Amino acid sequence: MATHSVHRESSGDRPNRAKGNRPSPPLSPGDLISALPDAVIHHIFSFLPLKDVIKTSVLSKRWRCTWTSTTHLAFNGVRPRNHDASFFDFPSLVDSVLRQCTSPTVKKFHVTDLQYHEADRPKVDRWLHFAAGHRVEDLCLSLITEMRPMYILPPSLYCWSWLVRLEVSLCRFSWDLTVSWPCLKVLSMEYAELSDDFLRRILRGSPVLESLELRQCWRIKNVIIDSTSVKDLLLIGADNFLLEKIWAPHLLSLRVSGMWKRRIFTLDDVSSLVKADLVFSIRTFSPGDKSMCYDVMKELFEKVHRVPIITIGGWCLKVQVQ
């Protein structure tokens, strides 16, 4: 009698044929993109220019509106090459993107190189109102204007308790307002009219400020920094930046650059410095100015000669050699 051998598969070898447990087919590249978590997508967006972020809407159905939830918004008003200026309405572009923004919070909001006119004030006010409503931590507002009229920063900005980084260019501050920036770590002011008292109130209202940049500002004469948190100071000179004195005993890094007019400040107390970059020049108008420049540099070097790291620019070095 013939015998038959029957091989039984173990439960580990036997394929599961239940309909609900069948292995899923491999994902297509489009599906892989769609499967990315929102946090990963937004992280990718943070490295891309906004125009490229918007272009991602064609990658997949899910990404069609994903860009509207990005937490990084950076607008640049420079007209693209070969783009008709009459069709490049930068303010309307900003308005359109902000209307479609669905993220409850926005970490970064930058508007740079905006050709500002007085008629644009309501729009810029509206943009900053949007930034306040979305608790923007990193704000940059850099304008291009003929100096008059300058955009006046709204009073509400001075009490943004969540602000971490602020950069403004060609904007006007209201000196009589109280400043309360408890989280601010980086402050950059360019082409700004400042007073000694207003700078002191900024420092008092910014208890964790670490980096301060004064770029071609005017009216301010003395930079007095008694804060123990401010470690980095950048000064960029200009013809109307007539700074006289710096007193900052807790400062660790000082960088001075730009073109200064006739004279430069004195260093009253920078006893904690570990790094000094002197890469500036002084505009001279007469042969006697050369002697003045030599005296200025000699005094500066006497103040920083014990600093461990010193970078000396070409003009400063030339004055010393002569």
Give the amino acid at 272. Answer: S
Q: What pLDDT sits at residue 25?
A: 47
Would you say residue 183 has pLDDT above 90? yes
Considering only residues 69 and 107, tell me which one the structure prediction assigns the higher pLDDT. 107
Q: What pLDDT sits at residue 5?
A: 44
The answer to whether 71 touches 105, Cβ cutoff 8 Å, is yes
Between CA 233 and CA 161 the distance in angstroms is 23
Q: What pLDDT sits at residue 63?
A: 63
Which contacts (CB < 8 Å, 24+ apart) does range 209-214 have?
209/181, 209/184, 209/185, 210/185, 210/186, 211/185, 211/186, 211/187, 212/187, 212/188, 213/186, 213/187, 213/188, 213/189, 214/189, 214/241
pLDDT-wise least confident of 236-240, 261-265, 315-319: 261-265
Whether the link from the prior residue into 49 is cis, omega within 30° of 0, is no
DSSP 147: S
Which pLDDT tens digit goes with each residue over 108-164?
999 999 999 999 999 999 999 999 999 999 999 999 987 678 999 999 999 999 999
How many CA atoms lie within 13 Å of 179's alpha carbon, on the beta-carbon side? 23
Between CA 185 and CA 211 the distance in angstroms is 6
CA dihedral for 90, 96, 99, 103, sign (positive or negative)? negative
Give the amino acid at 67. Answer: W
Residue 242 pLDDT class (50, 70, 90 cuts): confident
Which tokens go with 131? 């930034």
Would you say residue 66 has pLDDT above 90? no
Neighbouring CB atoms inside 10 A of 140's CB total 18
Q: What pLDDT sits at residue 264?
A: 78
Between CA 26 and CA 35 the distance in angstroms is 13
Residue bearing tokens 């087919």: 25
The answer to whether 318 touches 297, Cβ cutoff 8 Å, is no
Q: What pLDDT sits at residue 57?
A: 58
Q: Which of 33, 74, 34, 71 is nearest to 51 (CA)?
A: 74
Q: What pLDDT sits at residue 13?
A: 47
Which tokens go with 312? 């000396």
Between CA 188 and CA 142 the distance in angstroms is 11
Phi/psi for 311 (5° steps) reads -110, 125
Between CA 262 and CA 284 the distance in angstroms is 6
Q: What pLDDT sits at residue 9?
A: 45
The mean pLDDT of the chain is: 83
Q: What pLDDT sits at residue 147?
A: 65
Considering only residues 318 and 65, tell me which one the structure prediction assigns the higher pLDDT. 318
Give the mean pLDDT of 157-185. Answer: 97
Between CA 217 and CA 42 the distance in angstroms is 36
The answer to whether 174 touches 196, Cβ cutoff 8 Å, is no
Which pLDDT tens digit goes with each residue over 2-18?
444 444 444 444 444 44
199 Cβ contact list (under 8 Å, min separation 6): 220, 223, 224
Give the amino acid at 144. Answer: I
Give the mean pLDDT of 175-201. Answer: 97
How many CA atoms lie within 13 Å of 99's alpha carbon, on the beta-carbon side? 7
Q: What pLDDT sits at residue 203?
A: 97
Q: What pLDDT sits at residue 15?
A: 47
Give the mean pLDDT of 232-249. Answer: 91
The four Cα atoms 54, 58, 61, 64 give a dihedral, to 10 degrees, of 20
